[in-house]
Amino acid sequence: MIFSNWFCLMGYWLNYKQSDREPRANDSEVFHHLIEPYFRHANWFSFKSQDKDKGGCCSYQTNLYMDYGQKFGLSPIGYYEKIFNFTGFNKKDDSEYRLVFVKTRWSDKMCSNVISQVGFGQGNFKIVGSKRTTKPFVIPPIGSATRVFVLSGAELKSNLNFLWFLYYVVCPGKPDMCRGMKPVVGTSEMASSGF
């Protein structure tokens, strides 16, 4: 079930109220119909068995909307816009999109922390998985590339930022989402190796 060689969007998590909007009885149905034609555009696939026959939609996505959109006052279209507007980030203050989550697994073969998930937003930084922060962190080969990006634990929060992720991971996988985006300045120091 390889949906993308670049990335899969997990969702948009909120933890505070966005508005005083009251939930409506048909919110889940509206969101389901809204997202179904577009979930592939952002590589927002479900890995739930009940969504397999529909190509990876839509119970997972709808449940996320109910838990993190409707619950916090967002309409179906409001949550949809949060999902699909992440490339509009480069026009905003980057303090809203700091690295707040990294999921890793330890690789004895590479003697490194291999990054499998990242999260950007506001909040406290958290690492799940290997806690060997004195060892390198690597992003596995992306797309058809043969190189991996390597960061020290000290560089992780400053160099693995949303603009870098957008430019080097999202945009090559979904170039239509990044038209006109300029190369990222200041992150080219991130080492790359041909593991």
pTM: 0.79
pLDDT of residue 179: 77
pLDDT of residue 97: 79
Spans of the chain below 50 pLDDT:
1, 90-91, 187-189, 193-195
pLDDT of residue 163: 85
pLDDT of residue 148: 80
The C-alpha atoms of residue 156 and residue 147 are separated, in whole angstroms, by: 18
Classify the phi-psi angles of 62: left when phi > 0, otherwise alpha if psi is within -120 to 50, otherwise beta. alpha
- DSSP annotation of 22 reads P
Collapsing DSSP to helix, strand or coil, 150 comes out as strand
pLDDT of residue 189: 46
pLDDT of residue 187: 45
pLDDT of residue 195: 37
